[in-house]
Structure 1
Amino acid sequence: MSHTLDDAALTPFHKRLALLSSGGPFLDGYILSIIGVAMIQLTPDLGLTTNEQGLVSAVALIGIFFGAFLGGWLTDRFGRHLLFTIDLVALVACSVAQAFVNDVWWLIGLRLLIGIAVGADYPIATSLLAEFTPRRWRGKLLGAYVCMWFVGAAAAYVAGQFLLTVDGGWRWMLASAALPGLVIILLRMGTPESPRWLAKRGRTDEANAVLTKVYGPGVTVADLGEETGRNVGVGAMLRSGYGKRMAFITLFWTCSIIPLFAVYAFGPAILEALDLGGDLAHIGSAVITVLFLVGCVVAVFLVDRIGRRRLILHSFGWSAVALVGLGLATGASPWLIMALFAAYAVLIGGTQILQWVYPNELFPTEIRGSAVGLASSLSRIGAAVGTYLVPLALTGLGIGTTMLIGGAVTLAGLLVSLAWAPETRGMTLAESAALTNTTSPVRGSLRVTTVKGRHS
């Protein structure tokens, strides 16, 4: 089997595609963060009740839940190229419409649609990126995709603070997501369809045309190194053996983001509960946010050096230690508490980037988008429940117990990964997605991987 494209050099095309694909998480971070600043002016202007404030803040997450699965199903059915642009057109239109609302329910409806558009972009963009990227760079580029969420969040806070000085600035804040969205749409125009998807749909001539355009004359579908087989539905694929992989991805993803969403969303409240109140809580929360980004960047450099399996095990293991330490360190030195928070923020980065690496590598082309979308949607359930329960736990159980529960959830992720996490470093997409892969820990090593009689 030819591996010409899997072993290709990284080109400006790949770098451009990676940048354009990362527009989704950038907009996600921007949209979910800007609302927090906008609520300062929005609440009195529209006379929102406490329940309405909660709905306005959370409804985009509900939209992402539905959008991720819908986008995955649509991109497997109709292709990556068309939806790569259409979803952001909807986002831009709804963002602009927010500036003109005078009723809270119109605002809630628009933010639900925006969440659907953002959620849909995740499986669309990552599938397209994974199917073009050479195996040597796939882990890095898919991992770097996550980093843009924090860049978007930072941009939102800067824009929000500036617009707070403007009368009715909340309208401009909510509409401002349209500007980067429009830029991304214009830059995405002309992005070719995935030749792997075209080949799977029997559109060989179109696939060859894309390959010639991107890689030059003489490159054909024979160089894709893709497994052969007929297109089947998601249900049939899961019953044929991919259900275990979906369970692994959903469980580790959920165990990773429940504590992270809690720490990120309630950072100031948690720090105040740990006797780090006032300005120190807000400064500490900002520093921790930056360290989440640092952790993801570090993980991007490690994912191909130490491999996927070792990275996820170390990330879960040491993050659990940091959270348990926080649970036991209530009343300790502020510097120790900040150090443990910082350690957690950096160490959890490995599990964060693998949320997009593993789903794209462990499923075949015909259901890759659906698998990524389904895993993203299912994990959001746990994140929403966890985020909802954090303030209740802080009040009813106390900060120490709350942090220990977070540590227990993280340890559960470690156990799931010990049992099921495969090593896919250095594999082609055909190899990593094949059900003939087997992965098991062995003495003296974290894993051994066998692919059709080959060890790595």
Structure 2
Amino acid sequence: MGEPNKQDKKEIRRKQKKNIFYKRKNYKKAPFSDVHAQLYWALVLGQIACAYALGIAGSAFNHAKLALNINDTWLGLLGAGSLIGLAGSFIMGRISDRFGRKHLLMANMYIYTILSILQFFTSNLLLLFILRVGIGLMIAIDYTVGNSILVEWLPTKDGAKRQSNLLLYWAYGFGLSFLASQFISNWRLMLCSSAVLGLIAAIYRSVVQIPHSPSWLASHGEHRQAQKVIQKNLGKKWGLPKNLLRIRKKSDASTAELFGKKYWKSTLTGTAFYATQAFAFFGISIFLPILLKNMHMNNAFLSGLLYNSAIIVGTAIGIWLFNKMSRRSFLILTFTIPIICLFILALLPKLPSVLTLLVFTVFSIVLSASLLLDFTYTTELFDLRIRATGVGFVIMMSRVGAAAGTFLLPIIVNLAGAYVTLCVCGVILLIGTIICLFTAPETNPKFVKQGNKNN
């Protein structure tokens, strides 16, 4: 037999490399290591900064209302500005699915910091609104792109737990904004104080250097580059799983696919629970001082402190329950109890203050527990190929709900009172619950076998 020709040598080398790739252990089964911890804490710092920026807005603009003579319409718009920007999650998800995750996460917290600082230097309402929308767009990157890269890097056995823990840190950031508002009296300083947390997150990400997502690289046919990233961060014995090695080149995910036969239930479920939850949560949370005042709560500080503490407690309880229950049961339970609480508050306005506060605290705890669905369940609803696009769309719709709640709440309170407002929030949550009863799929591996769908 003669020497193999040039084409044969290329084929031999290709098969050798392929065999080497197949002999590697699935990197999703690697133990939790430094790269996982660094990426996780990079996102934790981002979540704290994001929650703080969202939470501080209500107190800041409540202080600015008298100083700038802001009417209810502008007050609602300014409060909803960052939530409107968060609707850009869909665009960020599309960009991320097409061009990758790393660079967006490396840049967004620097831009967030600059926009936060700029708020100090203007009292122009339109410009303030634009800055808030810009901050919301940067938060959208953390929510959409950050969640995608985290679930694509974390070991399968740690993924859901670590991802759900992010919500606890988000709650810390939200609670921190309430405490900060008690010590900062100047509304400009309140708004720009978010720059401190943003800069900390940005610098940390620059120091640790967020890696590319191996799964994303492989899904675009970049197997060699994906292997290099894995081996650099985890060691030479780890590599891509077989299902990703079979992908030669990925076709870009289409938005229309979200409404096709395969994904429409996931899209509708994610939209229904996230949008209605966000309407109630952000509408009440951001303008809590106004709501408490109209509910005749005598000690607004104590009531606000209990509410924000309840958010942290609720998130902690939710983390404990989340992986012990089916996702469907967790969703329905954590929506039904807040609905009952809201209707009790709305229909029994003459309850003693102690009972009113108790019911309001139960509402806060349980609705906060439902936030665990926002990160983990949304990523589980969509597979790798369309994950960031699907999650981005769901977050976009949730921000429409959040922005609507934040915009409408001060107007409804002013026109109809706090108790009608609570009733409206209850009806919105009820609509979301009914839709999910018919469409929500089960994604908890303990209750349904998914294979490697989400790996």
TM-score in same-fold range (> 0.5) = yes
Q: Which amino acid in 2 is paired with 1:132? A: W
Name the CA distance, whole Å, in 2 between partners of 1:46 and 1:262. 22
The change in CA–CA distance for 1:403 and 1:227 in structure 2 (over 3 A counts) is farther
Match of 1:91 in 2: 112
Match for 1:146 among 159, 167, 175?
167
Query: After alignment, is 308-317 or 75-84 more displaced?
Result: 308-317
Match for 2:254 among 218, 234, 259?
234
Name the CA distance, whole Å, in 1 between partners of 2:283 and 2:272. 17
Q: Trace 1:147-226 onto structure 2 (pairs within 5 A).
A: 147-164=168-185, 169-189=186-206, 190-222=209-241
CA offset at residue 400 of structure 1?
A: 4.5
SS in 1 for 2:448: strand
Name the CA distance, whole Å, in 1 between partners of 2:418 and 2:74. 27
Name the CA distance, whole Å, in 2 between partners of 1:414 and 1:42. 36
Name the CA distance, whole Å, in 2 between partners of 1:258 and 1:416. 16
Match of 1:34 in 2: 56
1:359-393 Cα shifts (integer Å, max 9, x gaps): 21121223211211111111222222233333454
Q: Which amino acid in 2 is paired with 1:366? A: R
Name the CA distance, whole Å, in 2 between partners of 1:107 and 1:207. 42
Match of 1:247 in 2: 268
1:112-160 Cα shifts (integer Å, max 9, x gaps): 2222112222111010111112233222222222233332233334444
Q: 8 Å contact 1:135–1:426 — kept in the other structure? A: no
Match of 2:441 in 1: 422
SS in 2 for 1:241: coil
Q: 8 Å contact 2:86–2:140 — kept in the other structure? A: yes
Match of 1:449 in 2: 448
The change in CA–CA distance for 1:372 and 1:23 in structure 2 (over 3 A counts) is farther
Query: After alignment, is 402-411 or 177-186 more displaced?
Result: 402-411
The change in CA–CA distance for 1:3 and 1:385 in structure 2 (over 3 A counts) is farther
Match for 1:353 among 372, 377, 389?
372
The change in CA–CA distance for 1:7 and 1:312 in structure 2 (over 3 A counts) is farther
CA offset at residue 303 of structure 1?
A: 1.5
Query: After alignment, is 315-324 or 231-240 more displaced?
Result: 231-240
CA offset at residue 45 of structure 1?
A: 6.2
Match of 2:47 in 1: 25
The change in CA–CA distance for 1:293 and 1:372 in structure 2 (over 3 A counts) is same
Query: After alignment, is 316-325 or 373-382 more displaced?
Result: 316-325
Name the CA distance, whole Å, in 2 between partners of 1:120 and 1:381. 16
Name the CA distance, whole Å, in 1 between partners of 2:290 and 2:190. 25
Name the CA distance, whole Å, in 1 between partners of 2:358 and 2:269. 31
Query: After alignment, is 39-48 or 108-117 more displaced?
Result: 39-48
Match of 1:434 in 2: none
Name the CA distance, whole Å, in 2 between partners of 1:266 and 1:160. 13
Q: Trace 1:45-444 onto structure 2 (pairs within 5 A).
A: 51-66=73-88, 68-101=89-122, 103-164=124-185, 169-189=186-206, 190-222=209-241, 228=247, 230-238=250-258, 239-274=260-295, 276-279=296-299, 281-394=300-413, 397=416, 399-426=418-445
Q: Whose Rg is larger? A: 2
Q: Which amino acid in 2 is paired with 1:62? A: I
Root-mean-square deviation (Å): 3.0
Q: 8 Å contact 2:80–2:407 — kept in the other structure? A: no
CA offset at residue 399 of structure 1?
A: 4.7
Name the CA distance, whole Å, in 2 between partners of 1:384 and 1:350. 21
Q: Which amino acid in 1 is paired with 2:57? A: I
Q: 8 Å contact 1:96–1:175 — kept in the other structure? A: yes
Q: Which amino acid in 2 is paired with 1:282? A: F
CA offset at residue 240 of structure 1?
A: 4.8
Q: Which amino acid in 2 is paired with 1:233? A: A
Name the CA distance, whole Å, in 2 between partners of 1:116 and 1:263. 22
Q: 8 Å contact 1:92–1:177 — kept in the other structure? A: yes
Name the CA distance, whole Å, in 2 between partners of 1:272 and 1:47. 19
Name the CA distance, whole Å, in 1 between partners of 2:294 and 2:316. 29
Using CA pairs below 8 Å that are at least 6 residues apart, which structure has the higher relative contact order?
A: 2
SS in 2 for 1:306: coil
Name the CA distance, whole Å, in 2 between partners of 1:451 and 1:34. 40
1:301-344 Cα shifts (integer Å, max 9, x gaps): 22112232221122122222222322333212222211211111
1:392-449 Cα shifts (integer Å, max 9, x gaps): 544555555543443333233332222222222238xxxxxxxxxxxxxxxxxxxx63
Match of 2:16 in 1: none
CA offset at residue 354 of structure 1?
A: 0.5
Name the CA distance, whole Å, in 1 between partners of 2:229 and 2:315. 32
Q: 8 Å contact 1:3–1:224 — kept in the other structure? A: no
TM-score by structure 2 length? 0.83
Q: Which amino acid in 1 is paired with 2:135? A: I
Query: After alignment, is 210-219 or 242-251 more displaced?
Result: 210-219
Name the CA distance, whole Å, in 2 between partners of 1:318 and 1:298. 14
CA offset at residue 267 of structure 1?
A: 3.3
CA offset at residue 71 of structure 1?
A: 1.4
Name the CA distance, whole Å, in 2 between partners of 1:80 and 1:421. 28
Q: Which amino acid in 2 is paired with 1:19? A: W
The change in CA–CA distance for 1:227 and 1:328 in structure 2 (over 3 A counts) is farther
The change in CA–CA distance for 1:133 and 1:32 in structure 2 (over 3 A counts) is same
Q: Which runs of 5+ in 2 are unaligned?
A: 1-21
Q: 8 Å contact 1:128–1:194 — kept in the other structure? A: yes
Q: Which runs of 5+ in 1 are unaligned?
A: 428-447
Q: 8 Å contact 1:71–1:373 — kept in the other structure? A: yes
Q: 8 Å contact 2:90–2:389 — kept in the other structure? A: yes
Number of matched pairs: 427
The change in CA–CA distance for 1:37 and 1:384 in structure 2 (over 3 A counts) is closer
The change in CA–CA distance for 1:324 and 1:96 in structure 2 (over 3 A counts) is closer
1:38-64 Cα shifts (integer Å, max 9, x gaps): 446655666656655444333222222
CA offset at residue 283 of structure 1?
A: 1.4
Match of 1:16 in 2: 38
Q: Which amino acid in 2 is paired with 1:231? A: S
Q: Which amino acid in 1 is paired with 2:130? A: G
